[in-house]
Structure 1
Amino acid sequence: MYYFRLFTLFFILFVNFKNCFAQEIPEFGTLSKLESEFVSYEQDPEAEAVYLYEYGNNYFEIRDDYIYLITKYHAKIKILEKEGFDYANIEIPLYRSKKRKEKIVNIKAQTHNGEFKHSVKASEFFEEEVNEKWTHTKFTFPNVREGSIVEYEYEMQSPFFFNFTGWEFQSDIPKLYSEFNAKIPGNWLYNRSLKGKLNLDVNEADIVKGCFKFPGTKDDSDCESLKYVMENVPAFKDSEAYMLSSNNYRSKLEFELSEYKSFYGGTDKYTKSWDDVDQEFKTDKDIGSQLRKKNFFEKNVDESLLTEGDEITRAKNIYEFVKKHFVWNEEYGIWQGNKVKKAFDEKKGNVAEINIALINLLNAVGLKANMMVMATRKRGLPKKTHPVMSDFNYIVAKLDIEGKSYLLDATNKYMPFGMLPYRCLNYYGRVMDFDKDSYWYDIVPENLNAVMLRAQMTINTTEQKLEGIFDLTNTGYNKVSQDKLLATTNEDSYIEKLEEEISDDFNIISHEKRSKYSNEKKLTERFNFEIENLFQGDDIYLNPFVLKFFDKNPFTASERNYPVDFGYPMKYQYVLNVKIPDGYSVKSLPENKNFVIPENGGVLKLNVSDNNSGTLNLFFTFELNFAHYGNAFYNGLKELFDEAVKSQGQSLIVFEKI
């Protein structure tokens, strides 16, 4: 007799409003008095819709001599605003392999409008193919309007036990009641974890004796019976800027198949150690064997690429060669179908093919380069407790030279040596060192990222216009973005767009790249410009900020329950010298500011001074000194950006005629 491994989850019972929506399992098509009379959700007045009730039940059952995972789902959603009509469009994902597939065996749906009910007809449920592995069962509720309640129920039959992945308590709209149930025979062992910051209102686990009978076996299998409930679940709002994947923060219960013990003897392990994964990678035809193609590359590149210069020079030359040789097809392609030789010949490939080619070439010249598997920012952070290979969706190269390590990705033609694309700035990855054991490695972003503007201005009182020069310098990740912009935009379009962004009165006379002051991680441009319409009567009104770093504050929510992640530290700096026109004096200047958030995490300084030599000097700096900020920094960051927007939009220098 096999007993299921128990994992204790946090259980905190707190005093809270207890709704009456789920005292017992409701019959489809019936509404409780509270559901019928529900009008608005006071805890979230901006909610477009709200789950009144959500119920899921998962269990194993033999049908047609095959064991299936059965999932029953039932939901009622109240549409509160027109913007919530999208929740009346339902898509149910269904997985398939070459031999088997998931299917819906029973589905109902209807719209409640007061006493009137409008059902979805059988012909209005349809299946749409997404790709070779997924289809969607789709339908739309009829007669939906503000105040409607849409209700649907279905049963899904799945032959894939690994697709028993858990339950999402939190979504982008609130839920009054969300209940997850499961009955799992002891032959199936699942790892499980509760993610997010919300606590369970109900957390029950019991053993049910002899709950599952498999034909031909002597003993019945015991089951673990689970029930988890959350009430009054707030919406997870991920519309604010600068966050990692919502998968890191949404409250949900995750299940992962760890082990299956056959009824006829034998065990299949799904959760393996990193030692197991390392050995599998070495022989895998799409990974390990693709990393042993250095002889092919030695024969198919110019010999000078492999021989000229010291180690770091050869590494940089190889990196530049791979960037220029390949065109990235916009696919990641980490686990299957990788063909580096074919990709090299066609000069086009996915992330894995391009970066595995890079690793092969680096190894061909005797440099120690290994593959690092990782997850992109949108994917979520990989688990460190044990290997979950589906957590990873990206491959980069880790290069070690003379005691220094570099992370390389050759898919971006504008990315300097040793920097990863922004999508890869996701804390850490796993280096697959096939000569030794694999290990975790931190992703440390480029530290020197800045936009710096230096301007000199002179006001021509005769022609009533301002004439000036400004030098724009971008470093680090800003330089990468600017390189791409200049390479993909013609000169006239670039100038025209820049003029439009500044003002109708701003005209650029000339523009040039200043190669003398630029390098791999730094780009300087010089602009000659004019500004008109500064004169109002006898006074001159000048907004000194030629370019604004921020038009608006990216942080608008009153609170934020997850970290702020910029990806890398950042600095903005503006230095201005403006001559006081002959016959004029300074009437008013912007107020000086000095604003710092805790731990020197962010700094804003604005200083304007008259040095008594006929010139005004303005110095503005805005620094984000961390790449990642915890929740406690949110209000400070919000205020910091508020001050920055005000400084750039409300600072005026006024000269008056003497």
Structure 2
Amino acid sequence: MYKIIYLSLFVVTMFFSVNQILAQEKPEFGTILKSESEFTFYEKDPEATGIYLSEYGHNFFDVRDNYIWLITKYHAKVKVLNMEGFKNTDIEIPLYHSKKSKEKIVNIRAVTHYNGMRIPVKAEEFYEEEVNEKWTQLKFTFPNVQEGAILEYEYEMQSPFHFNFQGWEFQTDIPKLYSEFYAEIPGNWLYNRSIIGSLKLSVDESRIISSCFKFPGLKQDSDCEALRYAMKDIPAFKDSEKYMLSANNYRSRIEFELSEYKSFYGGTDKYTKTWKAVDREFKTDGDLGVQLKKKNFFSKSVDPGLLTQGDDLTRAKNIYEFVKNHFTWNEEYGVWNDNKVKNAFDQKKGSAAEINISLINLLNAAGINVNMMLLATRNKGLPKKTHPVMTDFNYLVAKVDIGEKSYLLDATNKYMPFGMLPYHSLNYYGRVMDFDNNSYWYDIVPEKSNAIMLRAQMTIDASEKKLTGVFDLINTGYKKVVQDEVLSTTKEDSYIERLEEEISDDFHIMSHEKQLKYSDEKKLTERFNFEMENLFQGDNIYLNPFVIKFFDNNPFTASERNYPVDFGYPMKYQYVLNVKIPDGYNVKSIPENKNFSLPDNGGVLKLNVSDNKSDTLNLFFTFDLNSAHYSNAYYAGLKQFFNEAVKSQSQSLIVFEKI
């Protein structure tokens, strides 16, 4: 799905590759080439509103005033191709700070080049703005920005935080002609290096420079590894299309993570730990391990029967329902958020971590085999598997083992059935923190039966010139969860009115009820009685058989897609209709049958209308997506697949003619 390569920073000395000839010489600030001035259109992306003409970054360590600073130099030139939709006039540079130290920007300058003029950003127009307790940002706005202008800026960032070694973003929301990153890293600092994304590097070089770093007072200098990465003709990263995981999984970039520091005075600090070390730390962590040892408090705070009555599965389900109903989620994610489960229980409100840790404590008190599982939500990005990176995780749930089956539980959503995780947690895998043994990775497998099904019967009364009918709406799995919330938070009149508006002005719902006899924990059945008008035109009756459409538009509009399609879970849409042919009429025309399928049993679309020369007409439509995830190789097929489904629902017509 995506490519991540982890390398140890200090490897055997490598020669500069033949790609060295592709590296460009960094231009002097203020130099605008004739080709840059005349650049007006990017053939590889005709819709681009702007483009990076060039972009350079340089990271290195430097001793200033007897302190080692991590230095980042940056220089970029951006061409404005079309003012409509161009959003790069405002620049924000994030700066990290602690209580004692902070990053700072020096030697910053910015200029708008237009029609031979240079309009600089004045010194007083650069300003800092606080974001939160750890971050500020330096901001400025380019002046006199017009179509054809070139926006150029450069700066130097000084950072006292050696762990915050800046990586490099090759892909942004506009394309780049050339982007290059160069770094010189002394051997005292070891970093894990990650190349993320599917785009190929034009330059990928590494070499050792002898005695490149001098520390005052020491005779021996450090060697450095010099790294150079570059890309040419980088497409914009467009994440406006639906059904994708976090852009962090796909946007091409390079990340660095401090693994080890060897002091100039001796001694070594290790920052990247093993999972065994993390497991040990978690047991005593105040936000997690300690909070997981509160089962005595919880066992005294609930009805004893909740923990003792029934077999393991019954008790687990009852406890899960209790926690869902007891708590209100405050919409906070996070894992290390100063969790206080006792306070949360007493207040009946808490974060996702506090609610699910409370669930784990109660399950432990009931003697159920349960562990905490860390995961990243869909908008966060997938956790790295090669080594622990705890900032990759922002959520936790419970993993319950009963007999031969395992269940993942999250009690934040009051409508979620036992054994299903909320949609935002359907992110491939998580890390189960088994403190009695060792932690391990565990796959998140979504519910397989997720469907919206309609069963409709219609009768047309020619004398009254109206249609009457009944349809059953059946939602299962995640579709049922959504519908449960709609029905619980919407008044009946508002619900009916909204449905009628979505369907047609000529459609009227006469009655609605839940069919509890045909519903269960993962299935909801509703029955509607309805009438339709204005079907008669002259001697003919025109009926669009799809009373309710599953989707009006194709969600996939881009010509191509460079990242996977992820629906979160497999899904099915099915429509079955039985319509009685009105007395005194014949069937004049019916929709053509269709039968499409995606490769490797990825999906099926069928439309079949049968006229058996009897008094009824039968329609069967199914649209099945058999997988939750599709590689981008499927994109063209999926786009056509959805297009056929939309056409089937919007362009199908049954015509009856008067005899």
**Where do residues 303-322 of structure 1 align in structure 2 (5 Å cutoff)?**
303-322=304-323
Q: 1:5 aligns with which of 10, 19, 34?
A: 10
Matching residue's letter, 1:527:
F
Match of 2:445 in 1: 444
**1:213–1:220 CA contact under 8 A, matched in 2:** yes
Match of 2:376 in 1: 375
**2:408–2:420 CA contact under 8 A, matched in 1:** yes
1:136 aligns with 2:137: yes
Deviation at 1:325, TM superposition (A): 1.3
1:275 aligns with 2:276: yes
1:598 aligns with 2:603: no
**2:75–2:155 CA contact under 8 A, matched in 1:** yes
Deviation at 1:425, TM superposition (A): 0.7
The two structures, once aligned, show a CA RMSD in angstroms of 1.8
Looking at structure 2, the residues matched to 431 and 135 of structure 1 have their Cα atoms a distance apart, in angstroms, of 35
Deviation readout 1:44-88 (Å, 9 max, x if unpaired): 101111101111011111223322111111111111112343111
Match of 2:119 in 1: 118
Match of 2:504 in 1: 503
Deviation at 1:37, TM superposition (A): 1.4
**Where do residues 294-333 of structure 1 align in structure 2 (5 Å cutoff)?**
294-333=295-334
Deviation at 1:440, TM superposition (A): 0.5
Match of 2:5 in 1: none
**Where do residues 462-481 of structure 1 align in structure 2 (5 Å cutoff)?**
462-481=463-482
Match of 2:611 in 1: 610
Looking at structure 2, the residues matched to 446 and 344 of structure 1 have their Cα atoms a distance apart, in angstroms, of 29
Q: Which moved more, 1:587-596 or 1:236-245?
A: 236-245
Q: Which moved more, 1:163-172 or 1:445-454?
A: 163-172
**Where do residues 572-591 of structure 1 align in structure 2 (5 Å cutoff)?**
572-591=573-592
Looking at structure 2, the residues matched to 241 and 442 of structure 1 have their Cα atoms a distance apart, in angstroms, of 24
What percentage of residue pairs aligned between the two structures are identical?
74
**1:422–1:567 CA contact under 8 A, matched in 2:** yes
Deviation readout 1:342-381 (Å, 9 max, x if unpaired): 1111211111111111101100111111010111111111
Matching residue's letter, 2:246:
S
**2:110–2:154 CA contact under 8 A, matched in 1:** yes
**2:20–2:203 CA contact under 8 A, matched in 1:** no
Looking at structure 1, the residues matched to 278 and 145 of structure 2 have their Cα atoms a distance apart, in angstroms, of 50
Q: Which runs of no fewer than 5 residues in structure 1 stay unpaired?
A: none
Looking at structure 2, the residues matched to 187 and 607 of structure 1 have their Cα atoms a distance apart, in angstroms, of 70
Deviation at 1:114, TM superposition (A): 1.7
Looking at structure 1, the residues matched to 68 and 345 of structure 2 have their Cα atoms a distance apart, in angstroms, of 45
Deviation at 1:165, TM superposition (A): 4.2
Match of 1:185 in 2: 186
Instruction: Report the secondary structure of 1:494's partner residue.
Output: helix
Deviation at 1:11, TM superposition (A): 10
Matching residue's letter, 1:584:
Y
Looking at structure 2, the residues matched to 361 and 7 of structure 1 have their Cα atoms a distance apart, in angstroms, of 53
Q: Which moved more, 1:431-440 or 1:53-62?
A: 53-62
Change (3 A) 1:608 1:237: same
Matching residue's letter, 2:165:
F
**1:9–1:203 CA contact under 8 A, matched in 2:** no
Deviation at 1:626, TM superposition (A): 0.7
Looking at structure 2, the residues matched to 649 and 217 of structure 1 have their Cα atoms a distance apart, in angstroms, of 78
Looking at structure 2, the residues matched to 320 and 9 of structure 1 have their Cα atoms a distance apart, in angstroms, of 60
**Where do residues 60-79 of structure 1 align in structure 2 (5 Å cutoff)?**
60-79=61-80
**Where do residues 157-556 of structure 1 align in structure 2 (5 Å cutoff)?**
157-556=158-557
**1:12–1:201 CA contact under 8 A, matched in 2:** no
**2:113–2:149 CA contact under 8 A, matched in 1:** yes
Looking at structure 2, the residues matched to 181 and 144 of structure 1 have their Cα atoms a distance apart, in angstroms, of 30
Match of 1:96 in 2: 97
After the TM superposition, which parts of structure 1 deviate over 6 Å for at least 4 consecutive aligned residues?
7-16
Change (3 A) 1:646 1:13: farther
Looking at structure 1, the residues matched to 246 and 18 of structure 2 have their Cα atoms a distance apart, in angstroms, of 29
Deviation at 1:12, TM superposition (A): 9.1
Q: Which moved more, 1:568-577 or 1:187-196?
A: 187-196
Looking at structure 2, the residues matched to 324 and 112 of structure 1 have their Cα atoms a distance apart, in angstroms, of 61
Deviation at 1:631, TM superposition (A): 2.1
Instruction: Report the secondary structure of 2:88's partner residue.
Output: helix
**1:7–1:192 CA contact under 8 A, matched in 2:** no
Deviation at 1:424, TM superposition (A): 0.7
Deviation at 1:628, TM superposition (A): 0.8
Looking at structure 2, the residues matched to 154 and 147 of structure 1 have their Cα atoms a distance apart, in angstroms, of 23
Change (3 A) 1:8 1:536: farther
Change (3 A) 1:53 1:28: same
Deviation readout 1:601-627 (Å, 9 max, x if unpaired): 110011111233301000000000011
Aligned length: 652
**1:212–1:221 CA contact under 8 A, matched in 2:** yes
Looking at structure 2, the residues matched to 415 and 10 of structure 1 have their Cα atoms a distance apart, in angstroms, of 57
Question: How does the TM-score come out when normalised to structure 2?
Answer: 0.96
Deviation at 1:451, TM superposition (A): 0.2
Matching residue's letter, 1:144:
V
Instruction: Report the secondary structure of 2:87's partner residue.
Output: helix
Deviation readout 1:79-134 (Å, 9 max, x if unpaired): 11123431111111111122211111221111111211211112211211111111
Deviation at 1:274, TM superposition (A): 0.7
**1:291–1:360 CA contact under 8 A, matched in 2:** yes
Change (3 A) 1:412 1:61: same
Q: Which moved more, 1:137-146 or 1:426-435?
A: 137-146
